[in-house]
Structure 1
Amino acid sequence: MEKDLLEVERQHLRNVVKDCDPKQLEEVEKRFALLYTYDAVGMEGHNRIPYEDVKRLSQAKALLEYSEREQKEILNHLKAFEFVVKEAKATHEFNEEKLKDIHEMLVEGIFQGGVYRNVNINIFGASHQPPDYIKVYDRMNKFFNNLNHFEGNILEKATYAHASIAKIHPFVDANGRLAKLVLNYFLMKGDYLPITVPLESRETYIEKLEAFKSEKDLKPLVNFFKALLIKRYEEELKELDL
């Protein structure tokens, strides 16, 4: 039986990492964190700081040409991702408290985070809208219960967690960024690389996500993320396997 390409690439990277310079690996990871932050924050549409300025901001911590909120969204995301990396590598359990902690980091200094919404929200252009705010607590309880009893592989569980948060939209804002961080939490905890959804793949991503929201079909999104994972492994191998 032919080996799964993702697992082949995963094992190849493990072998390469054993012999590579730790500083080189650290640089690759830093570049990914910046690109991931650029994609994740930019995906939500109202913050389009160019990648080079995301890089500059990560070092300078302040850029006069952008609003305070735009800068905080970038810096907060970098901080939240760093937290998620540490928690995942320590294999700490994911629970409601951790979800709220991550959300608080994402919106620190912007509005009060970690509190489920008490208003209804609409997602422009989406065929499926989030549930009434009165149902959020019940939906989140069901989500965590289903997550604890989820039967499937690591990628499927990571995708389920991501898609469920995106579907419920438990917070007033930053749900998309939160859902992607949760996806990566489960991937990294399962010893996979984290991934980013490129801005140019936004429409495809939304299409696959809508299939889950409307039809409870997780497979299109799983396959989409798997392709991104394979690409991520290929790119990292190119950078490290010189």
Structure 2
Amino acid sequence: MKSELEKLVGRYRELGIDRQLDYEKFYLYSIITHSTAIEGSTITELENQIMFDNGIALKGKSLVEQNMNLDLKAAYERVLVFAREHADITVDRLKELSALTMKNTGSEYYTALGDFSSANGDIRLVNVTAGVGGRSYMAFNKVPQKLKEFCDMLNALRRKHSSMSMQELYEMSFDAHYNLVIIHPWADGNGRMARLLMNWLQFEFGLIPSRIFSDDKEEYIKALVATRENEDFGIFRQFMTDTMITHLNRDIYSYLESIGEDTPVEQPKKKVKTRDRIIELLCDNPKHTTRTLAEEIGITPKGVERHLAILKSKGILHRIGPDKGGEWQIALDKWNCDSTTH
């Protein structure tokens, strides 16, 4: 049975959305725009089109923002070549792509162990931490070997692509994204590189490439953190699948509307956040268990447990009675069951 994502991709292609004039160019521009927006760029898709196609500097936009987008475009153009050639994913190719991505915005680092430059794609020689008070990423001295093992593992999986479903191919690309973030090979640009690698695999296997919009940034980062904390790939896979479904629905709606065809009754809404969905379900049935919540939402029980723990810590949820036979109580002064938008 096809997954919801596979059905939507089929509908997308049935409508011929991916065969419109200049579709590939403008979709690529969209990918680049949204990837840099995650990193703080304020340049729009239209502005990137003007800058990319006409070589015109953008007024009111910083040189750093413009270079960030131009550099990422060069990296994507290179990755398209690799994807067409089915080139092996190697440490040297990843370093080459990192150097293109950070060419004009990278920094020089001077350490006791030697100097290195993110603008050259050099592997970091320092340890890094994930945000304020966050856990540290892999020790720098372990990165080269781990990165090679990662490339070898990914190439072995790629060779099995013909026996994989579309959903499995997407999940391979999502896992590659997550794993590269966790290895964190560079001092700068790891997020852009992880999204670039994910898209590389999607280009190679003829998938509709994933975009992560700036509106998704908070949930995107939370999904990465939760996946790491729970050691559960299902959390990030589910986030990326849900995000793809949302964006495909919006693209299909916009296309049908633009050609004057019948569209859904209302424009697809932004996906409901997992925590909102949990509260919505508990409003309807306070006797839900972790397992039944997981089945309703489509994430793992571990993922549900993480959200329940956060809601309890905020005083929004309280457990009455034992794990079996008890029920959840929602603090109505902190949450309104009639409205799950917070």
Deviates more, 1:201-210 or 1:144-153: 144-153
TM-score by length of 1: 0.84
Q: Within 5 Å, give how 1:121-160 maps onto structure 2.
A: 121-125=128-132, 127-150=134-157, 153-160=168-175
Q: Which residue of 1 aligns with 2:64?
A: 69
Deviations 1:71-98 (A, max 9, x none): 1111111222233234324433322222
- Give, in whole Å, the separation in 2 of the partners of 1:53 and 1:205: 25
Shift of residue 156 of structure 1?
A: 2.0
Deviations 1:101-120 (A, max 9, x none): 21121112334322101122
Q: Which residue of 2 aligns with 1:91?
A: 86
- Give, in whole Å, the separation in 2 of the partners of 1:203 and 1:67: 24
Q: Which has the higher contact order (CA 8 A, sep 6+)?
A: 1
TM-score by length of 2: 0.61
Structure 1 residues 115 and 183: CA distance shift in structure 2, 3 A = same
Q: Which residue of 2 aligns with 1:204?
A: 219
Question: What SS does structure 2 have at the residue aligned with 1:203?
Answer: helix
Are residues 1:188 and 2:183 paired?
no
Are residues 1:105 and 2:96 paired?
no
- Give, in whole Å, the separation in 2 of the partners of 1:237 and 1:67: 34
Q: Which amino acid aligns with 2:127?
A: N
- Give, in whole Å, the separation in 1 of the partners of 2:24 and 2:133: 33
- Give, in whole Å, the separation in 1 of the partners of 2:7 and 2:191: 30
Deviations 1:125-165 (A, max 9, x none): 47332222222112212322332445872122111111111
- Give, in whole Å, the separation in 1 of the partners of 2:132 and 2:206: 35
Q: Which residue of 2 aligns with 1:44?
A: 39
Deviations 1:155-208 (A, max 9, x none): 221111111111121011111001001011112222211111111111111111
Structure 1 residues 65 and 215: CA distance shift in structure 2, 3 A = same
Q: Which amino acid aligns with 2:61?
A: Y
Q: 8 Å contact 1:126–1:210 — kept in the other structure?
A: no
Structure 1 residues 190 and 126: CA distance shift in structure 2, 3 A = farther
- Which structure has more strand as a fraction of its residues? 2
- Give, in whole Å, the separation in 2 of the partners of 1:14 and 1:38: 23
Shift of residue 40 of structure 1?
A: 1.0
- Give, in whole Å, the separation in 2 of the partners of 1:83 and 1:229: 24
Deviations 1:21-71 (A, max 9, x none): 95x342x333322332222112123x3334443333223432253333221
Residue 183 (structure 2) aligned to one of 168, 172, 188: 168
Q: 8 Å contact 1:187–1:193 — kept in the other structure?
A: yes
- Give, in whole Å, the separation in 2 of the partners of 1:184 and 1:21: 16
Question: What SS does structure 2 have at the residue aligned with 1:207?
Answer: helix
Q: Which residue of 1 aligns with 2:2?
A: 3
What runs of 5+ residues in structure 2 fail to find an aligned partner?
Answer: 107-118, 260-342
Q: Percent identity?
A: 23
Question: What SS does structure 2 have at the residue aligned with 1:85?
Answer: helix
Q: 8 Å contact 2:127–2:136 — kept in the other structure?
A: no
Residue 27 (structure 2) aligned to one of 28, 32, 38: 32
Deviates more, 1:121-130 or 1:220-229: 121-130
Q: 8 Å contact 1:130–1:167 — kept in the other structure?
A: yes
Deviations 1:201-222 (A, max 9, x none): 1111111111232232111111
Q: Which residue of 2 aligns with 1:114?
A: 121
Q: Which amino acid aligns with 1:14?
A: R
Q: 8 Å contact 1:116–1:171 — kept in the other structure?
A: yes
Residue 57 (structure 1) aligned to one of 51, 62, 79: 51
- Give, in whole Å, the separation in 1 of the partners of 2:15 and 2:85: 22
Question: What SS does structure 2 have at the residue aligned with 1:117?
Answer: coil
Structure 1 residues 236 and 81: CA distance shift in structure 2, 3 A = farther
